[in-house]
Amino acid sequence: MREALPMTQFGLGMRHPHYSDFVAGHVPVDFAEVISENFMVAGGKPLATLRAVREHYPVALHGVSLSVGSATGLDLDYLHRLRALADEIDPLFVSDHLCWTRVPGFSSHDLLPLPCTSEALDLVARHVSQAQSVLGRQILLENPSAYLGFAQSEMPEWAFLAALCERSGCGLLLDINNVYVSARNLGFDPAEYIAQFPMAHVHQIHLAGHSEGEALLIDTHDRAVCDPVWDLFEAAMLRAERSVAVMIERDDAIPALNELLGELDVARGRAARAQRADAS
């Protein structure tokens, strides 16, 4: 039997319909997460809003443009603007995705996949180390949702991420819905992925919903968390080795705040059940 883990934190992704609730400090959560790029500005209403929210809650910064897999290197102007935001907000975490998003002169605005090869690992580890040096803090990398696999891959994604943490000192953000979406799309066992995932490096967990496409699941964040994702979350919490920050992501078809808080209560219940099972 393991000793009880430190308290898990539970939060929500802060989206525009609920800004006023967060600014007023009325949302019963332990933290809020925001999309970094929405607040990487010099003053103005967005930053004023975030400053007001920060008076009530710890804030996690979650980005979509770091592009650690870009063959042409990191965007240093982006990194310096992100550092300015992080220095002011003192975030709970700074995170982004294991992906690439751009080439010189063009941004795809999509989280594009990488092959899990030793060459890609070398590249990403260099970029993550550089990003952490510029930011002056650890970053977390999130497992992406996948719609295709690479024949060139030399290792499973969880092994790639474990090696990346060891080489760069970064942490991980485990997105449970992305595991389920990728598993369904690529034909692997999501339970095995969770069983092998390097939980010692996980600081944060995302929970979200997805859509059924004609041939694939699509990571749309526009509906409630489904039962199979809840089951995978509970399995992950059984393996948790540190306190983690668990949150619900919703980016479209955003419901009333009480509905999201109800989902967060489910997460609390599932995490508590996992901890009880682990202690028995």
Residues 6+ apart with CB under 8 A from 166: none
Question: Quick one: pLDDT at residue 1?
Answer: 36
Are the C-beta atoms of residues 183 and 193 closer than 8 Å to each other?
Answer: yes
Q: Could you tell me which residue, 119 or 41, shows the higher pLDDT?
A: 119
- What is the pLDDT, as a whole number, of residue 276? 83
Q: What is the mean pLDDT of the chain?
A: 94
**CB atoms < 10 A from the CB of 12, how many?**
25
**Could you read off the pLDDT of 104-162 as tens digits, one per residue?**
766 767 788 999 999 999 999 999 999 999 999 999 999 999 999 999 999 999 999 99
Q: What is the pLDDT of residue 6?
A: 54
Question: Who's near 228: CB < 8 A, 6+ residues apart?
Answer: 180, 190
Pairing of strands 9-13, 245-248: parallel
Matching CATH number, 9-279, of 3.30.43.10, 3.30.360.10, 3.40.50.800, 3.20.20.150 = 3.20.20.150
Residue 217, classed as helix, strand or coil, is strand
Q: Is the confidence at residue 2, as pLDDT, over 50?
A: no
Amino acid found at 117: T
Give me the pLDDT at residue 3, please: 46
The distance of Cα 60 from the centroid of its chain, to the nearest Å, equals: 10
pLDDT of residue 103: 72
Q: Rounded to an integer, what distance in angstroms lies between the CA atom of residue 33 and that of residue 30? A: 10
Banded pLDDT at 84 (limits 50, 70, 90): very high
Largest interatomic CA distance in the chain: 56
Task: Assess whether pLDDT exceeds 60 at residue 250.
Answer: yes
Contact 175, 206 (CB under 8 A): yes
pTM of the model: 0.95
Average pLDDT, integer, range 171-188: 97
